[in-house]
Amino acid sequence: MPLQTKLGNLLEAVPDALVGVDRSGVIRFVNRQTESLFGYDREDLIGASLEMLVPESVREVHAAHRRSFAADPSIRPMGPGLRLTGRRRDGTEFPVDVALSPVSTGDRMLVIAAVRDMGSHGREQEEQRRLDRLAAIVEHSDDAIISSTLDGVITSWNRAGERLYGYTSKEIIGKSDWLLVPRDRADEARAALEKIQAGELVEHQHSSRVRKDGTVVQVSLTASPIRDADDRIVGVSTISRSLTKKEEAYELSRFMIEASLDSMVSISPEGKITDANEATVRLTGVPRDKLIGTSFPDYFTDPAKAEEIHQKVFNEGVAVDYPLTLRHSDGTLTEVLYNASAYRDDSGTVLGVFAAARDVTRQIQDQRKIAHQQALELDRLAELERFQRLTVGRELKMIELKKEIEYLRKFGRTDGGERDDQP
C-alpha cells in the first residue's frame, strides 16, 4: 500500500479533527472528523483560511498565535494545548482544545492541528462527576438502596443494605431479591412489581422483610422503575429502612389514613393544610403536594363557614358533623360532614387540627328526593281533601234539594195549580 494511502487511512482513523495548515494559514487537508465537527464538506475547507473555523471576534488573536507558531514552533503562547473557541458552519460556537504539531515537507512546513470538542467532553466529565456523587450518596445513605432486574436479580447493594439485612454485597448480588420476602408478603410484592412495570411508584409501603439470620424486620419501602436510555423500564430501585416501634405505629396509622374513603387533612393554627390523604386529592382534584401550604377554607363554597369549624375546634377542641360544601377544581360540588379535633403538645398547646370529612352528597340528594316526594304527596293529599270537601258539599246540597222536592210534593201544588192531596 502506498505511503500516501497509509497516511490518509491513518488520518481518517484518528478520533480528533485534524487540520493541516501551511505557513500562510491556508488549509491543505482535513479528515472526516473535521467535516463532522465543523459541519463543512472537505471541498469547502481545503484552500480556505483556517480562521473560517474560529469566531470573528477572535480571528485576529488567533491569526497572531498562528503566525508566532509558524515563525518559531517552540513558542506556544497558550501552553501545550490551545484552549480556543471553534465556529461551526451554522454559526454555533463551542470550546475546543487544540494541539499543534509542525511537519516539514521539503521546502514547505505544515502545521497539523488536532482539534477536540471540549463542550461534549466537559458534559461527559460533568455527567461522570454527577454519577460519582450519586454513587457516593447511595453508598453512604442510612437507607438500604437495592437495584434489581424485573426478574428479581439483585444488581446493586449498598452498605446500609448489609447492615439492615445481614448480607454483604458479594453474597447477595446476582441472587434473587425474593430471598428477602416473607411468604405471607408474596402477593404484596407481586402487586408492587406490577405497579413498577406499569411505570408507577410504590411509596412508603409498610411491610416486612427477612434478614440473613431468618429474623423478620418491619420496614418502610419505596420502589421506583429504572429506565434505560430509550426510556424502557428495565429494573427496580428499592429504598427500605427499618422502623422503630414508634415509627411502625406512625406508618400503620398513615397507611390507615391513606386507605380511608373519607377526606382527612391536618391544618395548622394559621389555617393552612399541612397534610392530606388521597381521598382529599380525589374530592378537590388538587395533587397532595399542591394542597399542602394552601388555605383550608378556600376549598369550600362558603369559606367563612369553613373558617368557623377551624376556630370552633381551636376554641372548643372538637366539632361534630359540621356541614360544608366542598368544591372540586372542575366545579363539581360535594356535600360533606366534618368531624374535627385539636391535637396538642405535652403542655396542652394546640398544634393544629385534624379533620375528617364524610361525603354525604348521595344521602343529602336522597333526603332531598324524599322531601320532594313528600311535598308532592302532601300537595296531592290537600287536593284530594279539597275535592272531597267539594264532593261532600254537593252531596249535602243534593240531599237538601231532594228533601225540598219531597216537601213540595207533599204540601205544595202541582204544575196545574192543584194540591197533590185534592181528589
pLDDT tens for residues 279-324? 899 999 999 889 989 999 999 999 999 888 888 888 888 888 889 9
At residue 209, what are phi and psi to the nearest 5 degrees? -140, 160
Q: What is the pLDDT averaged over residues 147-174?
A: 92
Angle, vertex CA 49, rays to CA 46 and CA 50, nearest 5: 90
Q: How many domains does the chain have?
A: 3
Cα–Cα distance, 320 to 298 (Å, whole number):
21
The dihedral over CA atoms of 307, 308, 314, 319, expressed in degrees to the nearest 10, equals -120
**Domain boundary residue, one of 314, 341, 359:** 359
Q: Provide the greatest CA pair distance for the chain.
A: 176
Residues 302 and 309: their CA atoms lie apart, in Å, by: 12
Same domain, yes or no, for 244 and 306?
Answer: no
Residue 177 lies in a domain: yes
**Percent residues over pLDDT 90 in the chain:** 27
Look at residue 74 and tell me if it is in a domain.
yes
CB 321 within 8 A of CB 339: yes
3-state secondary structure of 294: coil
pLDDT tens digit sequence for 34-60:
998 899 999 999 999 988 998 888 788
* Residue 32 is assigned to a structural domain of this protein: yes
Indicate if 243 and 264 belong to the same structural domain. no
Would 178 be classed as within a structural domain? yes
Which candidate, 111, 124, 40, places its Cα nearest to that of 72? 111
Examine the fold and report which residue of 221, 254, 287 is the final residue of a domain before the chain moves on.
Answer: 254
Residue 127 lies in a domain: no
Whole-angstrom Cα distance, residue 278 to residue 258? 6
Neighbouring CB atoms inside 10 A of 117's CB total: 19
Instruction: In the chain, count H helices and then E strands.
Output: 13, 15
Domain annotation covers residue 375: no
Q: Are residues 40 and 112 in the same domain?
A: yes
Domain final position from 71, 95, 122: 122
Q: Do residue 15 and residue 83 come from a single domain?
A: yes
Could you tell me which residues come within 8 angstroms of residue 308 by beta carbon, excluding any fewer than 6 positions away? 322
Share of the chain above pLDDT 70, in %: 79
| Average confidence (pLDDT) over 415-422 | 49
pLDDT exceeds 80 at position 173: yes
pLDDT at 1: 46
Average pLDDT over residues 121-148: 70
pLDDT at residue 136 is higher than 90: no
- Mark whether 148 and 109 lie in a shared domain: no
Q: Is residue 145 in some structural domain?
A: yes
Helices (H), 260-350: 278-284, 288-291, 303-316
Cα 292 from Cα 226, distance rounded (Å): 29
Regarding whether 14 and 64 lie in a shared domain, the answer is yes
Strand partners, 209: 217
Average pLDDT over residues 401-410: 76
Neighbours of 113 (CB within 10 A): 24
Residues 100 and 182 in one domain: no
- Model pTM above 0.85: no
Q: Are residues 202 and 300 in the same domain?
A: no
Residue 417 lies in a domain: no
The total number of residues written for the chain in this structure: 423
Which of 93, 97, 69, 94 minimizes the C-alpha distance to 83?
97
Range of the domain at 314: 260-359
At residue 96, the pLDDT reads: 81
CATH number (domain holding residue 243): 3.30.450.20
Residue 352 pLDDT: 83
Among 13-17, 103-107, 179-183, 365-369, the minimum mean pLDDT is found in 103-107
Q: Grid cell 372548643 — which residue?
A: 316
Mean pLDDT of 392-413: 73
